[in-house]
Structure 1
């Protein structure tokens, strides 16, 4: 869907203003109304700066959060300079890096939690094997 331009009427009526003339008194000058056609601007470029700050501070997997932060800052600089194509390019790369950082960091946290649970279960099995109750003989001597 392409945005449609809209017409904005700047001065809806004709006004009479005092105008200093060459003679001893003041004359009235008639001003005409003006219509300006205004096209809606393009949607703003999202630089994903806050997401990059979060990834840099909390989820910085293999420094991808830092690299995403650098591209976000470059995107913001390009946007302020008026280079929307460059800003979109840097923002797209920052978004991709932020997605990769978030996914890999969450995956790493899940793997660490799974390994911790597996390690706890393995330790309890080992303790039960080598230190059985007083009425049970150790299995290693059988």
Structure 2
């Protein structure tokens, strides 16, 4: 049984199909030495399949995957989400969240410098959002307590002056 060479994109023909596909003139062009070489390769492949792959490396398909070591660039997305939801003064948390998402996108693309730039901006905005959020929340609570205490004392004073409930 004769086997034709099956390169990339070619069909593998065997036996009578091989001679029919090449035609008589092309089959005789291989000559006896070509057929002997083919049968020798076929025997070699049957005995050791890896030998044929090592002999003709261009016919085997290979894929090279270049995996880069990932640089740890924190994108501060959880911190930004926390500031967006709980400390939403001046919308700084939302802006920090947008920069965090941009940093994550840059990191996925492989732009480490851009990811670090966006992450640095997100970190700065998160710090400001946290500080302003805590100060403004604490200040609001203190003002509310003072306002309620003042209102209570004024109501008690008016009630004492009027002599009670009417």
Length-normalised TM-score, structure 2: 0.55
How has the CA–CA distance of structure 1 residues 118 and 77 changed in structure 2, closer, same or farther, with 3 Å as cutoff?
A: same
- Within 5 A, what are the aligned runs for 1:39-78? 41=69, 43-78=71-106
Q: Which runs of 5+ in 2 are unaligned?
A: 1-39, 52-67
Match of 2:90, SS state, is: helix
Name which of structure 1's ranges 103-112 and 127-136 shifts more when overlaid on structure 2.
Answer: 127-136
Determine which structure has more spread, i.e. the larger CA radius of gyration: 2
- 1:85 corresponds to 2:74: no
How has the CA–CA distance of structure 1 residues 41 and 119 changed in structure 2, closer, same or farther, with 3 Å as cutoff?
A: same
Whose helix proportion is higher, 1 or 2? 2
How has the CA–CA distance of structure 1 residues 119 and 41 changed in structure 2, closer, same or farther, with 3 Å as cutoff?
A: same
Length-normalised TM-score, structure 1: 0.63
Q: Which runs of 5+ in 1 are unaligned?
A: 1-20, 30-39, 137-142
| Aligned residue pair count | 106
Cα deviation, residue 46, structure 1: 0.6
Cα deviation, residue 44, structure 1: 1.0
Cα deviation, residue 124, structure 1: 2.0
> Relative contact order: is structure 1 or structure 2 higher (C-alpha 8 Å, sep ≥ 6)?
1
Cα deviation, residue 70, structure 1: 0.9
